Chains A and B, each alone.
Chain A
Amino acid sequence: EAGVAQSPRYKIIEKRQSVAFWCNPISGHATLYWYQQILGQGPKLLIQFQNNGVVDDSQLPKDRFSAERLKGVDSTLKIQPAKLEDSAVYLCASSLAGGGEQYFGPGTRLTVT
């Protein structure tokens, strides 16, 4: 079974630039999550989708971050404009149902200079 796919794996940008990340969840998984993991911390949920609807985006900095999951399958997370403190690993995860076991992708390591 194919796992969660993410791209790119690494990205270096300058502050105030824009960046987008892509995630393709495990086939059949209705729930998709985006997490931000800063070095030395646990993953922090940014947004949770159930199919193509948003379940929780309470910790998403909406002035600069946006995410969509058109057609309820793959998803994109965008940052515009980026700040230095956005440097982190962005993890995508999926699960069959919300609250169950989550399967993580390899993550995108973002460095903002």
Chain B
Amino acid sequence: RKEVEQDPGPFNVPEGATVAFNCTYSNSASQSFFWYRQDCRKEPKLLMSVYSSGNEDGRFTAQLNRASQYISLLIRDSKLSDSATYLCVVNEAGGGNKLTFGTGTQLKVEL
């Protein structure tokens, strides 16, 4: 089983739609969780951290379910500019605080 697993997509959605991505992780001792965004041929950038209580930043909502070992990202009112790859990232427990990236989920928002 992969350490961090995501559906690669692509998710093709119309502008204004709501879209949700899920990610599962294998290490139950993982400490912290993030969503990064990566535009085509660009470097990844932090989108948001994922807290146990869930967190919201404008149109973006992230949730963590430790019992089922998955995290989610919800994007409301999708914009064309949201088109990108969304990387699920898990901070593995243990020395060094190593971040493990999923393969990413590609989102394409269309007119």
Report A's interface with B, CB cutoff 8 A.
Answer: 33, 35, 40-45, 48, 50, 55-56, 91, 97-102, 104-107
* Chain B residue at smallest Cβ distance from A3: B43
The contact sample of 24 A-B pairs, CB cut-off 8 A, is A33-B99, A35-B101, A40-B8, A41-B103, A42-B4, A42-B101, A43-B44, A43-B87, A55-B96, A56-B98, A91-B44, A98-B97, A99-B32, A99-B91, A99-B97, A99-B99, A100-B97, A101-B34, A102-B46, A102-B99, A104-B43, A104-B44, A105-B43, A106-B43
Do B96 and A56 have beta carbons less than 8 Å apart?
yes
CB distance from B105 to the nearest CB of A (A): 10
Which residues in B have their C-beta under 8 angstroms from that of A105?
43
Which of A42, A91, A98 is in CB contact (< 8 Å) with B96?
A98
CB distance from B62 to the nearest CB of A (A): 14
- Tell me the B50-72 residues at the A interface (CB within 8 Å): none
CB distance from A105 to the nearest CB of B (A): 6
Number of cross-chain contacts by CB at 8 Å: 51
Q: Which of B34, B43, B87 has the most CB of A within 10 A?
A: B43
B1 part of interface (Cβ distance < 8 Å): no
CB distance from A6 to the nearest CB of B (A): 9
